[in-house]
A = this chain, B = another copy of it.
Amino acid sequence: MDYQFADRVMGLKPSAIREILKYASDPNVISLSAGNPAPEAFPVVPLRECSTAIMKDHPIDALQYSVTEGLPALREDLREILKRGNIYHENDELIITSGAQQIMDLVSKSLLNEGDVVLCEEPSFLGALNTFRSYNARLRGIPLQNDGLDLIELEKALREEKRAKFLYIIPNFQNPTGITTSWEKRKEIYRLAQEYDILIIEDNPYGELRFAGEPISAIKTLDTDNRVLYCGTFSKIVSPGMRVGYAVCGNELIQKMVVCKQGQDVHTNIWSQMVIHRFLTHYDLSEHLTALRTIYRNKYTIAEEALAPYQELMPYRAIEGGLFIWCTLPDSIPMLDFCAAAVKECKVCAVPGNAFYTDDTMPCQSFRINYSSPTDEELAEGIHRLGELAKGWKDRG
């Protein structure tokens, strides 16, 4: 039969970017395109012990239906941790989700009417943008500077966009640019959100992956009126395959998200919630994070050393954490052709930067590489090949 699709999915089709990315699964291709955490950073031995203990002592609890809001014990762990970090405030509530990706869907479903506007960093995380798009929201990108959003452009957008429902922002080691929003800008962003009465979605998947510099407090720590929906996840610090994230915001909004989640997957896999609860209560999380940061620092050093010879030709933005490095080509090298040649001729896959723009036909000379998932050797070799490709291109042109 001919399926009659909904308008919202009619536009979905394979893009030029997908054509490039599909080579990433070729085992002969070095993939610098993923967003995977380093597998060597998974706390395998503790998680194995937690899983064994649960399947031995509480198998029925792990296998039976549970409540939509999330495992009560894990919610309590998180409330405690978040209260210590001044993230959880009066009138706030917490929901556990199937990864932080689900937060984007639940908050969209709860808040967005067709034609509403989402403000976001330009460029930003493709997965979140696509979810907002799937609710027929219009995206308005705000240009990024080295210390975060361009505040003049942000205020302009807030003035102009009467149907803006929320601002989506990744303040730490932003995906894809690696940019961290300064404390001064965080305060100003919150102040503007209050002035123009808009919700902030603060997505913080990478905050704990800081291997250099000083931590900057979350925007949520400033929140006096339950205006910030704070999104956390265990994907980058424990395991992404477990699909456990969480969101904190005013109770009224969280309750709507709970109802939406009920209709979406009833509840998040209960074994993983129990494993994480046990991990948090039987192991030393900060010790694990220290070990994990060392792994990331070392891997990033390898990336930096490999990038150094090409710094003039193909500059990158230095990062203090997170998973991604943003590299920029000279105007003489067309970025999409470069990425296509990289994967076809050099067997290295990077993500074309335009993928992360609200309009992927905008001019873009940058591409994103990930340093956490390849092996050290692949990482150095992959960057070397990209650099040599750029050099040869430049010399030929």
A52 surroundings in chain B (CB, below 8 A): 51-52, 55
* Residues in A lying within 8 Å of B, measured CB to CB: 1, 3-9, 12, 34-37, 39, 42, 44, 47-48, 51-52, 55-56, 59-66, 98-99, 101-102, 104-105, 109-114, 116, 127, 130-131, 134, 165, 197, 199, 225-227, 235, 239-243, 250, 252-253, 256, 259-260, 262-272
A163 CB to closest chain B CB (Å) equals: 10
Judging by beta carbons under 8 Å apart, are A264 and B36 in contact?
Answer: no
Judging by beta carbons under 8 Å apart, are A3 and B250 in contact?
Answer: yes
A175 CB to closest chain B CB (Å) equals: 14
Q: Could you give 26 example pairs across A and B, Cβ below 8 Å?
A: A1-B199, A3-B252, A3-B253, A5-B110, A9-B109, A9-B256, A12-B256, A36-B65, A37-B64, A42-B60, A42-B64, A44-B60, A48-B55, A48-B56, A51-B55, A52-B55, A63-B241, A63-B242, A64-B240, A98-B98, A102-B265, A105-B264, A130-B263, A131-B263, A131-B264, A134-B263
A74 CB to closest chain B CB (Å) equals: 14
Q: Given A102-B264, A250-B1, A263-B104, answer yes or no on A36-B59 (Cβ-Cβ < 8 Å).
A: no
Judging by beta carbons under 8 Å apart, are B265 and A265 in contact?
Answer: yes
Closest B-chain residue to A255, C-beta based?
B12
Closest B-chain residue to A39, C-beta based?
B60
Closest B-chain residue to A98, C-beta based?
B265
Instruction: Report Cα–Cα, A91/B99, bound state, in Å.
Output: 32
A397 CB to closest chain B CB (Å) equals: 37
A271 surroundings in chain B (CB, below 8 A): 51, 241-242, 269, 271-272
A136 CB to closest chain B CB (Å) equals: 10
Instruction: Report Cα–Cα, A104/B102, bound state, in Å.
Output: 16
